[in-house]
Structure 1
Amino acid sequence: MIHYTVLPMEVVMEGIDKMEATSVEIVMNGIMMQVQPLNSTQATIVRIMSCDPQNYLNPRYSPGSIIEFQPVG
């Protein structure tokens, strides 16, 4: 991505080193996906990482969908 601005690079990138990665990778029904946890049993799908094109066509696993899962522990 190219970002054109008159601001100095220090201003544009300020605070980027303090950002936390809130997404985690899980496997659900054999599909690896990146999710953002909402609470201990729910998460929002950020993206799926699968080699099977049928997984991308399943509306249950579309980005933004909220899923229920059981934490492993």
Structure 2
Amino acid sequence: MTLYTVVPLELVLDGVNLEREPWVERRIEGVLVQLEPISPGRGKVVRILDGPLESYLDPRFEPGAVIALG
């Protein structure tokens, strides 16, 4: 992969080796999503792993959306 940018490489790769909490998988309303825990009981959607095709158009499951894990 080639990346053409005017941004210094140190800024592009900043934080790439930092430790992060492992992602979790949850089935919510029949849609299996991968979540990044952001606080107890809440997670940010990383991606949809499995579900009906309509779920890809549902704004509740778009990457970056915050979901309660209740």
Larger radius of gyration: 1
**Which TM-score applies when normalising by structure 2?**
0.67
1:28 — aligned with what? 28
Distance 2:45 2:61 in 1: 7
Aligned residue-pair number: 59
**In proportion to residue count, which structure has more strand?**
2
Give the alignment's Cα RMSD to 1 decimal: 2.3
Percent identity over paired residues: 26
Unaligned runs of 5+ in 1: 5-14
2:31–2:52 Cα contact (<8 Å) kept: no
Moved >3 Å (runs of 4+)? 18-21
Distance 1:51 1:69 in 2: 18
Change (3 A) 1:19 1:69: closer
Unaligned runs of 5+ in 2: 4-15
